[in-house]
Amino acid sequence: MKRIKTSLIMMLIIAVFTMLLAVDARAYVIKQQWVRFSATAGETLTTGQIVAIKDADGYAYKADSDAATLRPAVGIIGKGGTSGQTVEIIVVGIVSGWTGLSEGQNGYLSETAGAITQSAPAWNQQVGVAISTTEYLINCKNYLDTSALTTLGVLSGASPLVFEGATADDFETTVAVTDPTADRTITIPDASGTPVLSTLATNAPDVANSVTGASNGLVFEGATADAHETTITPTDPTADRTITLPDASGVPILATAVPDAANAVSGANNSLVFEGATADDFETTVAVTDPTADRTITIPDASGTPVLSTLATNAPDVANSVTGASNGLVFEGATADAHETTITPTDPTADRTITLPDASGTVSITGTNGAASHDYAAGHADWSVSALEAEATYIAATNADQAVNALLASCRAGKQYFVYNNSTQILTFKVTGQAGGTIANGKVALYICNGTDVVELYEQP
């Protein structure tokens, strides 16, 4: 009998000890409660735990600062229960049971489920304030009734607002505030849209490298923070306008006017358009032929009017082109080859004027200073007078071993020649295939061309 009593006593001691172990070392006590409500527990809840109402089922669960579905907190458990039981939630009241609290400091929903902390986590919600080292005045009213909320008051810290977004994960949007050196006001406009962001952390008006907005314009501060900025401002549009930036690097062409405005210079497809002094339907367009290699057109350091051509393809070495060379004009001719006619003036020693007559005809060229000569070299082969030699006025022949010929390919009517025969032989001067005339040795004769052959007018006696 004595053994039975001893066993019963031991069992009672063990049961009491087990119950003591099951109780939190910190016994939370509800000292005052002013606002409370009942809810169904979604898990086992005990007195002193901060809870939230989960949207998925409407049940109460331990609140958690880093779990979007378990915040905000709505109150603290006054009377607990297991899953499915009815629990009592205190919204406003005084609860004790903590140790070492900093009196007068806020209590926040912790990242430990159901707990309160005085160290504000990344997503922070104030759920109470410590009124002693062991007691919190719990007040979650703002999170149950926000209909009268008009201001959040003063938010402290460098990052007072953190937005979780639609997905509860490790990524949040934080609104950070640079420590102000004076009162600052940021105005949210009465409009919908997305704000313009900047990679410059210090972006603000008058800050080096900043880009900010002004009335109807964008303001670029530049590398130096000073009183000088570049502002892009559009003229008040009278219709929808589109300005396209090309997929290229470079400097834009600036102008003080727009297309079709007087004196405007604008761009067109592969060309520049000059409106001129009058805003009308007539413009001067400088167009560029599609290049087949890199080309450079140099504008000289001088004033004047460019030389124009009716040949659309006018360029050096192009058939029928007329181009400039150093101190000369180059005529390509009908065939684009390595042969051109170049008109080059002798370096003038005074102002010179060459007047072209009001007439059509062939220009007479004086070859070898007006004289042409031929040495038969003790032979008698025909002298075929070249086109340049035929332009001379004075023709001379020397050193033949028998009677010889001086042959013109053709002759221009009215052209005169003085021919001196110093060949020691008889010289016949004529157009090839014609009769011409003969000149004795040592004599000078005067000839004139009738368009077909030369005719002797006079021979020295």
pLDDT band at 113 (very low <50, low <70, confident <90, very high): very high
| pLDDT for 374 beyond 50 | yes
- Cis link prior to 461 (omega < 30° from 0)? no
Evaluate if pTM is beyond 0.85. no
pLDDT at 6: 59
Asked if the domains 29-143 and 368-459 are classified in one and the same CATH topology, the answer is no
The secondary structure of residue 13, as a DSSP letter, is: H
Assigned fold of 368-459 = Jelly Rolls (2.60.120)
| pLDDT for 20 beyond 70 | no
pLDDT band at 198 (very low <50, low <70, confident <90, very high): confident
Closest CA to 113 of 57, 73, 165, 155: 73
Mean pLDDT for all residues in the chain:
86
Hey, is 164 helix, strand or coil?
A: coil
pLDDT at 27: 85
Is 94 in contact with 66 (CB distance < 8 Å)? Answer: no
pLDDT at 384: 97
| pLDDT for 309 beyond 90 | no
Sort 400 into a burial class: Cβ within 10 Å, 0-12 / 13-18 / 19+: buried
Residue 30 sits at the vertex; the CA angle it makes with 25 and 36, to the nearest 5 degrees, is 130
pLDDT at 264: 84
| pLDDT for 167 beyond 50 | yes
Is 79 in contact with 110 (CB distance < 8 Å)? Answer: no
pLDDT at 22: 42
- Domain boundaries of the chain, sorted by first residue: 29-143, 254-300, 312-344, 368-459
Report the sign of the C-alpha dihedral through residues 310, 311, 314, 319, in that order. negative
| pLDDT for 246 beyond 60 | yes
Give residues with Cβ within 8 angstroms of 100, minimum separation 6.
133
Whole-Å CA distances, 132 to 2, 29, 96, 120, 168 = 52, 14, 9, 19, 35
CA distance linking residue 241 with residue 300, whole number of Å: 38
Give residues with Cβ within 8 angstroms of 253, minimum separation 6.
265, 267
CA distance linking residue 72 with residue 57, whole number of Å: 15
Mean pLDDT over 358-362 rounds to: 80
pLDDT at 169: 78
Amino acid symbol at 60: A
**Share of residues in the chain with pLDDT > 90 (%):** 50
Closest CA to 68 of 167, 196, 171, 178: 167
pLDDT at 144: 41
Amino acid symbol at 422: N
**Share of residues in the chain with pLDDT > 70 (%):** 89
Mean pLDDT over 187-204 rounds to: 86
Closest CA to 51 of 61, 43, 41, 42: 61
| pLDDT for 105 beyond 90 | yes
Write out pLDDT tens, residues 40-49. 999 999 999 9
CA distance linking residue 144 with residue 165, whole number of Å: 21
Is 366 in contact with 392 (CB distance < 8 Å)? Answer: yes
pLDDT at 25: 44
Is 344 in contact with 391 (CB distance < 8 Å)? Answer: no
Query: Assign residue 206 a region: left if phi > 0, alpha if psi is -120 to 50, beta otherwise?
Result: left
| pLDDT for 150 beyond 70 | no
φ, ψ for residue 19 (rounded to 5)?
A: -65, -40
pLDDT at 349: 92
Write out pLDDT tens, residues 281-301. 999 888 888 899 999 888 888
Is 120 in contact with 155 (CB distance < 8 Å)? Answer: no
pLDDT band at 146 (very low <50, low <70, confident <90, very high): very low
- Specify the range with the lowest mean pLDDT, choosing from 8-17, 26-35, 70-79: 8-17
CATH of segment(s) 29-143: 2.40.300
pLDDT at 369: 63
pLDDT at 359: 83
